Structure 1
């Protein structure tokens, strides 16, 4: 299920369910162990409980993981686990409408299904009410979901639409076919989203049987992480989950083992698409196997940019434009998959033969200590980054729990840290054989040394993990209240000698993490005319080498420091985002300074970057989403082609990138870029004085030779338009509409317009009208909603709606969306809608304020535009004071179907 942004505060009483549980005996969870801050408890009914406290968070997450996924599906049940996930957002016998409550409650909620597990989580601002409600709700839908046939009749079309969206991605479909061909018997060869026919035909009673079998406490792990009261968490878990009896049924073990592959397999997929892709799969091992870490490291050694062996042979030589790998985290024997993108001007069959020849070298290549060190640094950097983001860590534990036990993640890390080149050499020779590969035709041969993956029993996993204690528990970060008042109290502002301004947000982040965000506006509309593409390419080339460091050295050192530097250039602003750690901040900023002043922009890197960009763009030529969202901007703005506000067609983008020259990149770098008009924010437990010195050394003398003058967009009034674009043989379609008007955020109508948009399409999917009508009531769209663009420093604003749909539902979606918009404009909203959406909106903002990126954005906006930090709270006060009549008047003032331009992209010739 895709990510759902839910908003609001629970306003109804839950006395009915509370009284039910109050009548049953509460149980105190039993303490089991503490592994590096992950505290394990259990209940008598078999439920596992993991607590991961982090006082530095202002949010918390409740995540429940069920050990059931597509691996557990039988004949005629393909997609049942995923369909059931959708149905558990419907209703329960005790609480009623789950989606409505989640929508009212707010925050960030989701449910996902994969090969070995299904999970449901909610991220909310930290308080006892949210904690209690989340635990109570998850306990109720564990055993009391209604699973009505009427709900299923609506939801299967939504799931089918989700299926169709994936069918538009050639690389994804190729991977799905290769995986299917690679597995003869095991269910890992079947897509989790399932068979469209099974999804359409399954009945509610069959789905209920599946639900009652697997959705039980002895098959689940409850995770609570972030900032919360541990004792109350245990109390609520004991109260609500402890009241659920241990099931009498015994879960049968899955016992299908994939036999050793006995020859190379090849898949040729022919269907509509605009990109050329190659994939290769090798059977490997389960996550519990120590070889898993070695195979992961080998994948990095082979594909890393710029040091990877396959990267050098395929990308450096420009035979392909992109290469990646991944190895799923699974309970049973897994696989490693390599994906390659091929430019349209290349012969994909010839490139495939070259690729297979390079793959054949993997087993015989002599790997070096530097290869292993580089790969370990990258993997450990990723592991640490995830562990130090408590909310994400708790959610990502889902995969590891699905693979057998949460402690396997720590064992994997330990295995990575111990890797040697002998381990890499061993797994290369063992698994990377042509007869263990799926990419080509079947070739009969004799005397093959076949690879048979080892089986791991539950008992073996218990033996591996039961005595594991992990490393020492890290020091807990200090609490940080999510409020503007607290932000101001912990904000230190400064100015560099060249005029650039910065803000240091003093906040401890788990693991000593430091985040930074910088914005450097440059030049003027005249000097930037026709240079948009040059700036965009330049930003991607800033890490490809300097006078003192090669691209490889830059990436290696950043990986060793567990740090990253990312650049982006749009219109007239260079954006820089940094992720690092307290002890590495000075060195990382030194590397950044080198990139900003000494970059060399090698011609071969420019060629590769353009090749990669254009290969991606070629794959988007007939993608309904890319086509629709590009065309709606083109139809509603009429800039000259050399303006950086002009929106290019995809073919124009491809052509423009081909024309970018190295001399233009160098000229832009030397004369346009500079930091003298910049702003930036840093979040971390840093010393203000040393931070000021580091920032001064990095940016203080970096000045642009071009005079900076901010450029403002032109207002173009939209007119009524309904344009249809055919994208042949695409399973999904997109509808998008836009209305332009004049408004900035200081406009007295802005607060009312914010709530009008919230109620019309941006709020919760059971409180906003467009998603409620299209998804919930009629089931004709997987995703629908609205969004606004109201700027800070000019009055060129817009409102847009969107919907993803089956092409055959185009007329129904168009009619339903316009009816809802027309009805809202004519009759307005009700006071109850305003009340519900106000609470939802407030809670969503509270959640957002607990995110470091939000804090940096607020400070940067203050530094760049002079917007007081207090405006964040002031807007909320203005919105709270609104009357529904004011909201309705503003909606009618700014929106009109007679001024809405709409684009529909898809294969509308389908029947």
Structure 2
């Protein structure tokens, strides 16, 4: 406590921005340009990174503070995360942050991790949004109010978030293994913190932590997307430059985890429906040259289908799934292997099998092909993130937390230079039993122990200061986020077998190309009883063809930095493609092979069903899975076997077990085909060439089954409240649904959209239901509503949801229904309509700047004839609404007398 108080005394007092804005502002100093990332700095220590991308229609402002759970002391566990929540409350100058974010729409969030905390806002590009975001982040850097009254409400929300995580068996096991693996270092502590610390911390203690770490010399501001660079620098100088450099000096953390001196074993026993085995090895910091080699080794060991561990554990059905991850952190890190165990397997026997296979890592002789394959996959992932500027700016949070933004380039360079000798070296050095946490202590002699390397700030600076990076890439052309611009850059076509397609001419960073195809097949009658077969088939379409094995297909896609994914729902096969301009033709050739020549190996069918059923078994007692399944079953009355029928989780498990390979092949041969399909492609492609490529891919791929659009039926809901007990689960779920007749052409649709927006969906947690449950009473971590109004039929529904502590069930039920009843009785106000309209419009504009939205609009036009202009026409209709019209429509369609509600959780809990 003395140290905590002393650090508070050393911190400089908060400086009101209002008193210094009038002072002469500072122009940020240019430092360097590394591969399009332009670095600046201010005299107060703030680092500024600008990442312009004219091809975007959105921009992101992301501020990263170098403080996370690593910096927490005794009694402070979870303080960084709790403070993240509190900084969305209010500031001395601007007031209610959350309300302002809600009014402006867009997308905003904050996250906390081991080494860093970040806050970001994604808005449509404009000088107004740019200025406001920078001003707001500067204001809450030093002027957040952090009131005890706000904290009293928020701690229960954070506790609820804690409880949600406690429902995940794999996540809790991982947390326990980490806490056993680390004796002294804070990486062994959960970022979300101790529930007791969360509940007992006081606002004045939280403020000491805030004043110490939330300062310009401990932060990096990132601005990315489409924005005016000069104005950005002007606003940064105006608002952040006015903040003085703090007088306090941040003490460096100095705890180093000692070398582990024997294998550790932890056993966790608690409620759950899945079996898991985990194993952890201590590794190195992100800055270390060995980090890239260890990452590549993780891919070599676990990749589906080529991984050594994957082949010995999953291929043989000893496990249903295996994955690894190695966090990119400032100090010595770890690599974690997670293994999912089928319920019919003995977890103790599997644990010994896993240990035996892990022991082989140090003696396995890795090949050049292993390394080449892993490098291709990692580089593909790096390039994919880099060429999505908004995501890249947010992803930099982790790299900055690890020490410096340039470490990401050094990591990429290290991956590109990897050899099999590097892999062999790290395998032998780090993957020793005495550096592992999974089992019991075993005495042994002459242990060669792994001592983590320490990187000082001076070493990091020496490593990165002169790094220049690769040559700058060509900047993508601007693309305005509007329907008018979409239409101007849209080319429509049709293949010989009737498939309709659209090309959206747009330059994407790195020459990226995205495509989305939908192939509806057959009819409701012929598809009866085949939903499970179709679902599994979609997952097996990349497991081998007459000419290529699963491994060869995956290797080729990784080398091309591309991906193909399939999904089947009801009567439609969906295909998504991510690739690059120079690889588009070759990747579509791979897709054509998958659609025409897939073989569906028996062993892949067995593995896929095992993986799916292991996941489903873990959901049998999960409140969220149980609640959403049950409300769908109660509110629709389809016969079993219908493509619209919702099976119980156990029915789904049993159905998957019965699927035969012959049924998969029969469906593939007689049902799949593209002659009724549609698709859209986004990229800087030639229209004629694109049409030829699509013709070669799909032009002769036809279904043998007669196609008729299957339409869901309307079922009237009844007043019902149903409780489902899920024993010993820390979290609970509340759902409510009412059905009504409406399609999107209905004249009431625009008014109902806004009614839902005001009641539960709109803004940044500022609609009535989330405001009541989370902000005012702090009884739910997440609450809101959504609507499902179809295009081709009138079977519509409105649904509310809330995630809660089981002991708050009655309070949540009362509060939710009171808010609905109040809205029905008194209606909304004109001011509510006005404020939610602004956030709704901004959210739509933000969405229009996303390529997936463009493809969705084009596909809807191609499939249903819904004009692209309808997007703007809906907005015109909504803007013309009067509040009386919204209230009238709300009362017309919603009533508590027909509301079906489901509550799932351990409601026998007393506290």
Task: Return the TM-score normalized by structure 2.
Answer: 0.98
SS at the partner of 1:298? helix
1:288-687 map, 5 Å:
288-687=287-686
1:906 paired residue number: 905
**SS where residue 63 of structure 2 aligns?**
strand
Cα distance in 2 between the residues matched to 1:328 and 1:255: 20
What is the rounded CA distance, in whole Å, between the counterparts of 1:761 and 1:17 in structure 2? 35
SS for the counterpart of 1:197 is helix
Q: What aligned pairs does 1:86-125 form with structure 2 within 5 A after superposition?
A: 86-125=85-124
Q: Counterpart in 2 of 1:31?
A: 30
Give the whole-Å Cα distance in 2 for the aligned partners of 1:788 and 1:438.
Answer: 47
User: In 2, are the aligned partners of 1:765 and 1:772 still within 8 Å (CA)?
Assistant: no
Kept in 1: contact 2:17–2:243 (CA 8 A): no
Q: Could you tell me which runs of 5 or more consecutive residues in structure 1 were left unpaired when the two chains were aligned.
A: 1-15
Aligned to 1:690: 689
Q: Separation in 1 of the partners of 2:629 and 2:812?
A: 20
Q: Which runs of 4+ in 1 moved over 6 A?
A: 16-19
Aligned to 1:460, what secondary structure does the other structure show?
A: helix
Measured in 2, the distance between the counterparts of 1:466 and 1:587 equals 40
Count of equivalent residues: 896
Distance in 2 separating the partners of 1:480 and 1:806: 45
1: CA distance between counterparts of 2:722 and 2:420? 59
Deviation track 1:105-149 (CA, whole Å, cap 9, x = no partner) reads: 110000000000000000000000000000000000000000000
**Equivalence for 1:189:** 188
Offset at 1:767?
A: 3.0
Counterpart check, 1:771 vs 2:770: yes
Residues 165-188 of structure 1: CA distance to partner in whole angstroms, max 9, x if unpaired?
Answer: 000000000000000000000000
Structure 1: how far apart are the matches of 2:18 and 2:165? 44
TM-score in terms of structure 1 length: 0.98
> Contact 2:224/2:389 (CA < 8 Å) preserved in 1?
yes
- Separation in structure 1 between the aligned mates of residue 765 and residue 666 of structure 2, nearest angstrom: 53
SS in 1 for 2:600: coil
Say if 2:88 and 2:98, in contact at 8 Å, map to a contact too. yes
Alignment correspondent of 2:11: none
CA contact (8 A) 1:765 1:771 kept: no
C-alpha separation in 2, matches of 1:831 and 1:427: 65
1:699 to 2:698 alignment: yes
Two-structure CA RMSD over aligned residues (Å): 0.8
Determine helix, strand or coil for the equivalent of 2:675: coil
Matched with 2:812 is: 813
Aligned to 1:825: 824
5 Å matches for 1:153-172? 153-172=152-171
Counterpart of 2:876 in structure 1 is 877
Structure 2 distance, partners of 1:151, 1:762, is: 23
1:859 to 2:858 alignment = yes
| 1:74-89 paired onto structure 2 within 5 Å | 74-89=73-88
CA distance in 1, matches of 2:553, 2:21: 60
For residues 82 and 799 of structure 2, the distance between their equivalents in structure 1, rounded to whole angstroms, comes to 30
Give the Cα separation in 2 of the matches to 1:239 and 1:253. 30
Residue pair 2:17, 2:93 contacting (<8 A) in 1 also = no
Deviation sequence 1:692-717 (CA, Å, 0-9, x none): 00000000000000000001011100
* CA shift for structure 1 position 164: 0.2
Other-structure match for 2:272: 273
1:221 aligned residue: 220
Q: Distance in 1 between matches of 2:586 and 2:502?
A: 19
1:767/1:833 contact within 8 Å kept: no
Matched with 1:246 is 245
Is the CA contact (8 Å cut-off) linking 1:363 and 1:432 kept in structure 2?
Answer: yes
1:722 & 1:591 partners in 2: Cα distance? Answer: 51
Following superposition, the deviation at residue 766 of structure 1 comes to 4.7
State how far apart, in whole Å, the 1-side matches of 2:710 and 2:826 are. Answer: 39
Once the 2 structures are TM-superposed, how far is the Cα of residue 529 of structure 1 from its aligned partner?
0.3
Whether the aligned pair in 1 keeps the contact of 2:16 and 2:143 (CA below 8 Å) is no
Question: In the alignment, is the contact (CA less than 8 A) between 1:17 and 1:95 conserved in 2?
Answer: no
C-alpha deviation, 1:747, in angstroms: 0.1
Q: C-alpha displacement at 1:22, in angstroms?
A: 3.6
Shift of 1:17: 8.9
Please give the secondary structure, in 1, of the residue aligned with 2:577: strand
CA distance in 1, matches of 2:326, 2:766: 39
Describe the superposition over 1:814-863 as per-residue Cα deviations: whole angstroms up to 9, x where unpaired.
00000000110111000000000000100000000000000000000000
Match of 1:257 in 2: 256
> In 2, distance between residues paired with 1:492 and 1:311?
44
- What is the CA–CA distance in structure 1 between the aligned matches of 2:74 and 2:838, rounded to whole Å? 45
Contact preservation (8 Å) 1:679, 1:860: yes
Deviation at 1:642, TM superposition (A): 1.3
Paired position in structure 2 for 1:6: none
Is 1:21–1:239's contact at 8 Å kept on the other side of the alignment? no
Q: Is the 8 A contact 1:273 1:622 kept in 2?
A: yes
Q: Which sits farther off after the overlay, 436-445 or 289-298?
A: 436-445
Distance (whole Å) between structure 2 residues aligned to residue 211 and residue 383 of structure 1: 34
CA 1:498–1:17: 2 relative to 1, 3 Å: farther
8 Å CA contact retained: 1:266, 1:439 = yes
Corresponding residue SS for 2:744: coil
- Give the unaligned 5+ runs of structure 2: 1-14
Alignment of 1:723-742 (within 5 A): 723-742=722-741
Distance 1:723 1:764 in 2: 30
SS at match of 1:40: strand
Using the TM superposition, give the Cα deviation of residue 349 of structure 1 relative to its aligned residue in structure 2, in angstroms.
0.5
**Helix, strand or coil at the partner of 2:434:** helix
SS in 1 for 2:676: coil
Q: Structure 2: how far apart are the matches of 1:69 and 1:105? A: 28
Match of 1:735, SS state, is strand
Q: Residues 18 and 93 of structure 2 are in contact (CA less than 8 Å); yes or no, is this contact kept in structure 1? A: no
Aligned to 1:11: none
- Deviation at residue 326 of structure 1 after TM alignment: 0.1
C-alpha offsets along residues 296-336 of structure 1, whole Å, 9 cap, x if unaligned?
00000000000000000000000000000000010000000
Q: CA deviation at 1:217?
A: 0.3
CA distance in structure 2 between the aligned counterparts of 1:393 and 1:236, rounded to whole angstroms = 22
Distance 2:425 2:473 in 1: 34
- Report how far residue 152 of structure 1 moved: 0.4
Q: 1: CA distance between counterparts of 2:138 and 2:860? A: 42
**Distance in 2 of aligned mates of 1:565 and 1:686:** 19
Residue in 2 aligned with 1:804? Answer: 803
Work out the CA distance in 1 between the residues paired with 2:18 and 2:126.
22
Distance 1:690 1:845 in 2: 32
* d(CA) in 2 for partners of 1:294, 1:165: 34
Distance 2:268 2:570 in 1: 39
- Equivalent residue, structure 2, for 1:237: 236
Aligned match of 2:12: none
- Offset at residue 445 of structure 1 (A): 1.8
Structure 1 residue 443, shift from structure 2 partner = 1.3
SS of the aligned residue for 1:123 comes to strand
Query: Hey, what does 2:896 align to over in structure 1?
Result: 897
Q: Give the conservation status (yes or no) of the 8 Å contact 1:109–1:120.
A: yes
Report the 3-state secondary structure (helix = DSSP H, G, I; strand = E; otherwise coil) of the residue aligned with 2:897.
helix
CA change 1:307–1:882 in 2 (3 A) is: same
Cross-structure match for 1:7: none
Q: For 1:626, what is the secondary structure of its paired residue?
A: helix
Give, in whole Å, the separation in 1 of the partners of 2:210 and 2:857.
45
- Give the corresponding residue for 1:61: 60
Q: Is the 8 A contact 2:739 2:796 kept in 1?
A: yes
2:276–2:340 CA contact under 8 A, matched in 1: yes
d(CA) in 1 for partners of 2:23, 2:361: 61
